[in-house]
Every structure is written in C-alpha cells, then in structure tokens.
Structure 1
Amino acid sequence: MQPFIFKEILSITMILFAIIDILGAIPVVIQLRQRAGHIESEKASIAVLVLMVVFLLIGDKILDIIGLDVASFAIAGSLVIFFIAMEMILGINLFKSEDLGSTASIVPLAFPLIAGAGTMTTLLSLKSQYQTQNILVAIVINTLFVYLVLKNVGWLEKLLGKTGINILRKAFGVILLAIAIKLFRSNTHL
C-alpha cells in the first residue's frame, strides 16, 4: 500500500466538496429543520460518512446484486431531488410533515441530498483514478465540513433572516431542479 498523497487528497476533497455542495443545500436544510423541528447533525453526518464509505468500497457490487445499474440509481435520486426542488419553488408540501420526524436527518437530508446519486457515481469514478485510502481521507474531511454546516444551520438561519431564507430557498430550488433534470437526462437514453 502506497502512502497517503496530499495532492490526491486535496483534489478528491475539492471534487467531493463541489458535488456534495452542502453550502448550496443550506436552504433545503433550513426548510427540513423547520418542518421536522430538529435536524440531528451527528446522525446525518454519520449516515453520510457510512453511505459514502460503503458505496466507495462495495457500491458497484451491491448494485449488481440487486440488479441495478448506476444510471437507475441516479434517476431515482434525481426524482427525489426534483420533488424537493418543486416544494422549495412553489412553497407547497409534497412530503407530509409527520412523515419526516427524526428520519429527516437521514432521508432526504443524508440521502439523496448530501450523499446522493451524484456523490455515489462520483465515488465510483474516483475509485478508478485514485487510491482508496486518499478517497477515504477526502470523505472524512467533507463529512466534517457537512457536520459543521449542519450544526450551525440555526445561526445561519438567524444571519439570513426570513426574507433572505425565502430568496435563497427559491433560487436554490431552481438550481436543485436543474441538477435533478441534468442528473435525469444524463442517465436516460431518450
């Protein structure tokens, strides 16, 4: 096993940071927090870490066993993201509040928003280009950043105010909608 390579770790960390886009997900996190009452930062971060590590190590095998390809997985994630984006843009509730409860920290926050189909497919492609131990370090670094953002979302909500949050929610809803459509289009052969 080769030693850790700082340059690889930095590259992978930046790639994952861009794909996870936790800063862009702040309006979604605030919306989920308002509806669920509480987001468990630790639980969500651990779920993100476990999902990414497991998928990195055996994701392609798991998908093969259940007869799914990465494209189908990505399309399913894109649909969930699509409906969340529609909620943000239109100001409607498609997901019932009572269904969220403590599970909001896992679904839809940890998966598919943070460790979603885009992140998972990126991990599979990174695995073919970089050493696994360097990818694992980058996953841990990104998970720590996710934790810090989730832990401080209340402070960010106060900083932005109600008007700022509404503006961000609509703007990021459109961005999230575009991401969902791009993810869907790039994984369908229409």
Structure 2
Amino acid sequence: MLDFDFIEMLSAFIVLFAVIDILGSIPIVLDIRDKGGRIDAWKAAPVSFIILIVFLFLGEALLGLFGVDLSSFAIAGSLILMIMAIEMILGVQIFKHDSPTGASIVPIAFPLIAGAGSFTTLLALRAEFALSTIIVALFLNIVVVFFVLHYTDKIKHIAGAGGVYVLKKFFGIILMAMSIRLFMSNFASLLVEMIDHFKGL
C-alpha cells in the first residue's frame, strides 16, 4: 500500500469514468425505464464489476491466443477511445447501440457499462498503470455507477439537461487527451522494440 500512487489512480479513474460515461448515459437509462425496463442498481453495478474484473485478469491471456501483445492492443484501444471522445465532444453517433429492451443485466451491465469501450480501456490501462491502481479506480467507478443508477431521476433534476451536457463535453476532451497519451507512449514502446529487432538481424 505504501507504493500506491494516488495520482495514477486518479488518472485511471478519470479515463474509466469518461469511457463508461454513466452521466452521459442518463438519457438512455431514462428511456429504458420509460419503455418498461426495470433497472436495479444493486444488481447492475456488481455484475458490471465482476465482468470487468474477469476481463482485466483474463483479457491479456485471450490476446495471447491471437498473438497480440499488450502494446499493440493499447494502441488499438487508444484509437477507439479517440472515436468515443469525438462522439462525446461533437455529439455524433459512430458506435451503434443495438441491444434489446432494457433490464439490469442487459443492456445496462452489459454492454452499456461493461462493453467494448471499457474492455479496451482496461487492457490499455494495464500497459500504463499497476494492476492494484486499476482495480481501485474501477471499483470507485462502479460505486459512482451504482449511485447514478439509483438516483438517476434526482441527478437529472439537480444537474438539468444543460449540466449533463457540459459534463459530457468536459470528459470528452479529457478522454481525447488520455487517448493521445496512450497512443504516444505505446507507439514509442513498439518503435523501440522494432529498432532492437532490426538491430539483432
């Protein structure tokens, strides 16, 4: 615990917060409820956490089956994060959410919270931060997810449509900056590996 880096945890927390984008998903949650889908925060949040933790530990092994290293996956992930940031900032839809009618597990826990974006982000973060740091950041995000799902109506009433809009744009810019950082750091690592490989020939 003495080696725990609060700044790194905060960075990981912000990236995951921007990708999960539970505040930006409030309109989706409200729409699901309007269509008769009952959302139980006590069920959705824990299931999301379990899915993401399992992928955090097994994702790298799964990549190994396909011969993909972590740096390459992190670069691919950074490009996806960039696209997600563009969605948030410009208000366009590039990824299509084609999940069925709402429920606590599907589509809230998966794929809204634990989806392609968060999977990619977790493995990308593993190339940057300690595992314990990511787990703490993920747990804190799931706590936020729980409270947002549990108090969606109150949050919407307090923040208003304008407040949610501003938050979405703000975290979109942060996510874009983080995606650029992930790309540059991992691209540099791959470049060094390529240079060393050619030197050894």
TM-score, length basis structure 2: 0.60
Query: CA 1:31 to 1:13, structure 2 compared with 1: closer, same or farther past 3 Å?
Result: same
The equivalent residue for 1:171 is none
3-state SS in 1 of match to 2:24: coil
Query: CA 1:13 to 1:158, structure 2 compared with 1: closer, same or farther past 3 Å?
Result: closer
- Once the two structures are superposed, residues 120-168 of structure 1 have per-residue CA deviations (whole angstroms, 9 ceiling, x without a partner) of 101101101110000000000100000010000133456689xx6xxx8
Query: CA 1:160 to 1:3, structure 2 compared with 1: closer, same or farther past 3 Å?
Result: closer
* Letter aligned with residue 30 of structure 1: L
Alpha-carbon distance between aligned partners in 1 of 2:32 and 2:60, rounded to the nearest angstrom: 30
The equivalent residue for 2:14 is 14
Alpha-carbon distance between aligned partners in 2 of 1:47 and 1:61, rounded to the nearest angstrom: 22
Contact kept? 1:30, 1:157, Cα under 8 Å: no
Counterpart mapping for 1:23-38 below 5 A: 23-38=23-38
User: Shift in Å at residue 68 of structure 1?
Assistant: 11
User: Shift in Å at residue 118 of structure 1?
Assistant: 1.0
Structure 1: which 5+ residue stretches go unaligned?
85-93, 169-174, 176-190
* Letter aligned with residue 118 of structure 1: G
The equivalent residue for 1:50 is 50
Kindly, what percent of the aligned residue pairs are identical?
A: 39
User: Shift in Å at residue 45 of structure 1?
Assistant: 0.3
The number of residues matched between the two structures is: 146
Alpha-carbon distance between aligned partners in 2 of 1:158 and 1:68, rounded to the nearest angstrom: 49
The equivalent residue for 1:130 is 129
Counterpart mapping for 1:145-164 below 5 A: 145-156=144-155
Structure 2: which 5+ residue stretches go unaligned?
85-94, 166-171, 173-201
User: Shift in Å at residue 59 of structure 1?
Assistant: 1.6
Counterpart mapping for 1:1-190 below 5 A: 3-62=3-62, 82-84=96-98, 95=100, 97=101, 100=102, 104-156=103-155
User: Shift in Å at residue 14 of structure 1?
Assistant: 0.8
Alpha-carbon distance between aligned partners in 2 of 1:160 and 1:2, rounded to the nearest angstrom: 38
Give the alignment's Cα RMSD to 1 decimal: 3.5
User: Shift in Å at residue 40 of structure 1?
Assistant: 0.8
Q: Which has the larger radius of gyration?
A: 2
* Letter aligned with residue 151 of structure 2: N
* Letter aligned with residue 141 of structure 2: N
3-state SS in 1 of match to 2:96: helix
3-state SS in 2 of match to 1:135: helix
